[in-house]
Structure 1
Amino acid sequence: MIQGGISMSLRVNHNIPAVSSYHQMLGVSNRLEKSVERLSSGLRINRAADDAAGLTISEKLRRQVRGLARATMNAQDGISMIQSAEGALNETHSILHRMRELAIQASNDTLTSRDRLEIQKEVVQLRDDINRIAFNTEFNTKKLLDGSQNAAVSTSSAYAHGLVTGNVPEGGDYQVSLALLQAGSAQLQTTHLFSLRDSNLLAQGDSMLQSIAQFYDANGVFVLEEPQTITLHGNARSAEVVIDAYTSLDEFASRLQSAMLSKKDGLGIDNSVVNVVVTSQTMIAGLGGYLEITSGYIGEKGCVSLAGDESLMTALSISTARAAKDNLVEVSLTDKDKQTRVTQIDCDRASGLLSGVDVQFDSQAAQIAGSRGLVEGLYLSAAESFMVEAGGQLIGLAIASGYSTLEGVARSLNVQIQSTAAGSLPGMSAQVVNGEIRLAYQRPVSVSYAFGNNIKISYAGPTSVLGFQNGTYSGFVESAKDTDKMAWGFSQYQPGIEVSTVAAIEVGDGQTSILVNICRSISAEPGVASAADMISFEEFKNKTNKDFADAGVNVRVDQVEGSIMFTSTLIGRDNVAAGTAYSSMVTIEAVTVTALNATATAAETMLRYFGMSAGTKSGVGDSNFSMHVQQNENQYHIGANQMEVMKVSFSEMSAKALGVDNLDMTTVEGAELAIGKLNKAIDLVSAERSKLGAFQNRLEYAITNLRNMNVNASASESRIRDADIAMEMIEYTRNQVVSKSANAMLAQANTNAAGVLSLLR
């Protein structure tokens, strides 16, 4: 605004009206230019000068809008990744259902061994395809189902693995230790007692299969007219053994053992042994001439099955003499802060020590186990005495308190029945029939028929400790076994062991050894133990394990079913390549047994009474190893700002992680066990798919929310930065009119000064 009024006087140095008009015209022109710019760009703010504060707010909103748009696309990509994984698991589900169907089929005894072998072949292929899906399913070259998209786990031991089973909240370095709490057992299988066809004598190691009667069917047809193949399955591997008519039992055993031991084309089960057991080893007439197949791995991992032509498998008649039982192992995991978590398991896979990671190990403790020797017996808490009357004679019978085998009780009763000091009872005897003690009486001809074959029992109470009840019985009376008082043990009395005999073995761990007494002294009276007939295995175990601990021998003794076994308390072995000794070792040496008989040796005694051979066994794997866990969860950035992320984990879905890497359909027992494993595997895949489905649903909701936020942020930014075209047109029109008026007035102002010339004429 020009200060002061416009003078009506005429001046020539300054054309004030023109200057004033020009000034106004420039202002209108500037406003007109801005209107044209806004109308051309559609933006109210084209530079910071247009609205400094508005530009700042607008840029924040624009940043938000573009971030939300990218986050929406990220979420859509995440859904695509999840759908890829979930679609692959749908096929895994289908495979598991097919495997379960095959397991149910294999559990039916209408099938032959050969049929199950064909089923096993399909199961192996299905297992391999589960692994193919797990290790080959990708999205943008990223493996989805091998566990790497959750955590990377590595161990210092080739015998240990970390299986990613869920969300891993933290990584780090951990120390894992394995300690044996209670020994399990390795599978022991035996064949028929083979006899020679011509002589009916028991077969020997050099007997050829064509000479053995069991290899001929009921029609006299030899089952090995053509060479036959036997397929072994175990340790998630298969191997084949070929035999023919000219194969000897020793050769057969050697081939089976090689197939079990070989890591190249066999089962890779260390310490496995296949023996031909003959009568000279058992020292029992009529017991021998059979194969004894002992797995070298303790527990289910060492289970081995044999399959082949039905006629051949019938000839072999393989049965399980001792079932596999897993060790009870304490697994401890220590983190960098020296915090230790401990769990006890009876399998090879520890869960719960670290969230989202299971520790799986193949380490084994060394073990030497017997195949027989332990029997069930009775525990009598108090001495037993009662009166027995038959044939007009009345005698008293007594059994000492303590542990006794049923046969030991019968022996003691028979000695007393026939004892003249007790007033003998001719015609009566004590027998063990189907696990029960029976008193039987057959009236001798010297006894009057008037007495009949009756037995009368008299006891102070209604029932004796042994289970005999008061009353009169015709011919015989059986006692009822009290199963609560049954115990495992081994008899002090053994045929052939004389008075004051001690049978002992030397047990060690490769560094230290001690002498372990097995059979104790026997009383002077033939066939009668000086105290309880049976050594309670529990008492023997407690004492022997204490002796081991006191002597610093890393071995423990345990009982599984009817077998006694010595197992290293250490698991695994040290670095053998570097020349260091095994850390897990058991050695057993036969010790000379005194007063046994003229020909018996300590080794024969061990084989005869316990089915145990002298030797050394070493462990497999490592008992201590480190484990490194690196968190590697997928992160989906589903927001416009920093750390607005969603964590998504993909668990490992391999056959090993699902627990179906070692299914055995070649036996009914294995197929039944497989059904349970497959049920668990199906549940694991279902849980993983449910988790992925939940992730996808969450992302879909996130996308909806992101789009809503994008719309609102875009609207806000538009209100600040975009031009209001209607209002801008009004402003443009006004400025355009004013601009034209200003041009006209400038022209008029320039003509006003022309009047001065008339004054100068």
Structure 2
Amino acid sequence: MPLVINTNVASLNSQRQLMNSGNALDRATERLSSGQRINSAKDDAAGLAISNRMTSQIRGLDQAIRNANDGVSLIQTAEGALQETTNILQRMRELSIQSANGIYSDADRATLDAEVQQLILELDRIAKSTSFNGQKLLDGSLGKVQLQVGSDANQTIELKVQAMDAKTLGMGSVSVDVLGAEFSLSLFSSTAGADIRDGDVLINGQSIGEFDSAATAETNTMAEFLVIMNERLSGVTASALTQLKGSQLGSGVIDNDAGQGLDITVASLNGATQTYQIRENTTSMEQLIETIGRITGGTVRAEVNDQGVLSLSNNTGATISVAAAGGLDLQSTVGMAASVGDGLSQRGQIVLTSDDDKPIKITRGNTGTLSDLHNLGFRENQGGGVIEGAGITTAAAETAWGVGDLTINGTVISNKNTDSLIGKVNAINAATNETGVTANAFSTVTIDLTRVDVGTAFAAAAGANVLTMNGVNLDFSLVTTTQGLVDAFNGASNLTGVRATLLGNSVVLESDQGAIRFATNTLADIFSGTGDAGFEGAIFNEFMADGTNVVTTVTSGFAASLVAALRVEAGIKLTSANGNPISVELGDNATAAEIGLLEANSTAGGAFGTAIASISIDTAAKAQKAIGVIDKALTTINDTRSQLGAINNRLDFTMSNLANVSEKTSASRSRIVDADFAAETAALSRAQVLQQAAQAMLAQSNARPEQVLQLLR
């Protein structure tokens, strides 16, 4: 071994060992002082990444638990308010049953009704004032609440509390079982209305069949039509309700001692008839109603409306007729004539029931129009809180609304100046603050492609032969297919405000802005076929559907061919500001044709479509109706509370699971990042000893070069 003085290898080695032991001492000291095994990425890069992900998960889980607790608090607040709402409704129901008793006078019922009206105000106050963290819970403005109950995105539980105010409660729902609006029936043949072609009306995508109102047609009765519907529809069962309604007040007095009597005949859907004979003395309309219900065994339901007019109804779809016996005067006794017409009306409703509890979707098909749906009392399915009304003619649009003709969400809409479609829209919008509903006019034009040669006819409407829609020139020069025709219309939709869709054998043009106006020099070249004009007005080579003139069309030689290819409709569309259901009620003297909106009420005064805000118990008849409305309101609240309770229980399990996952993840993270004090104290002791030893050895190594001096002596 050579002796050198310039390079002291032993010293260098001791220095390195001293540095290593110093690093080990620093690491052990850091871990023991921080309690963590990983204090920086150099300690364990992969472990640091894993632990950070676990930290995010743990902190997210802990916050999710707090979120779930907030959700529980919100639910408990809402349910507490609903308990008080339930108490109010129970009291209102008690008062309604009391008022329905025949022993009370008008003054007595007025006193009872005064309390009911105060309770309605309190119910509304609770709905408008109940809040959590500044958010109103029961007025319908809350919408869907997404409770973030997980550590990652979109791990949510949805909570929704619908409006529980007086304008909403009691209205029922049409999401699963659909109850059509009333339409006119022939007393003896039970004819449903206008013709409907196969494929015009679809229920869950299935055609309901064909209806021909001609007397010799196979499907000219409601009974036969229901049979066809049920044979064609899968997952949906169709039935019917019918009502016979008088036109004037009746006394209800039958003098059976003098031989007077009343015969009520029920013709069932299978053709069988049953006649019930009323052969008892009755001294009032209330007694006659009770007698009819008892003798018919509930097959026929009798009641009077708010004006005291008698109606007879049943829920089997059977038609009802009345006849006098022993010289009884039908008009003065029951307010009805012997046959449909002046003094008597026969109404019906189609009821659709889902066989699998899935929503029922009603749409147009092929060349079907909104009128086809409305003829059967149906609306086409719209989004939540949207109602599209019935088609309305110019004559009907010019009919003024009287007091009580239309009620929306419990608010009476009345304006004697509603002599146009836009006037009716303005009348509805004038009450938006009270109803929470806005209205606008809509227009629909359906082009029957079976009467149009798309490949040549529309291409001809280019160049000099211009076809304009809402004042915009449309280019059909490259149109050779039906889809190309739709694309051509939609290519200008941002300018025209009209959208086009292909529906079976038809192109449907729709506008929510209330106007679709066409003009061209070559209508005869585009549309072929024959048919009845059936339009009003006369504008040369032009037709339109707008907010003033509902339908004005070509007459000068082109009307017949045009009408054969086109079906034009206009009407009123209602939209709820908060997406809640909309209640539409028509007065006894109003019709859907005049109002432009379909009523969604069950026959014979049922509660469907009637809100708590509209009820009164100042007459026995109104009290009877109020009971049904309140029952629906209670059902709505019970359903809502059960849903809230279910979500509350679910959140309890959610929080328990979150706490468990957080605990286990924290344990896993601890094994990665936390310092093992037993191991680290041992490492500290070892590093301290090595540090001292290295220092001693470094001192000796530094002294070794001095030995070379011995050689120089």
Q: TM-score, normalised by structure 2?
A: 0.42
Structure with higher strand content? 1
Bigger-Rg structure (1/2): 1
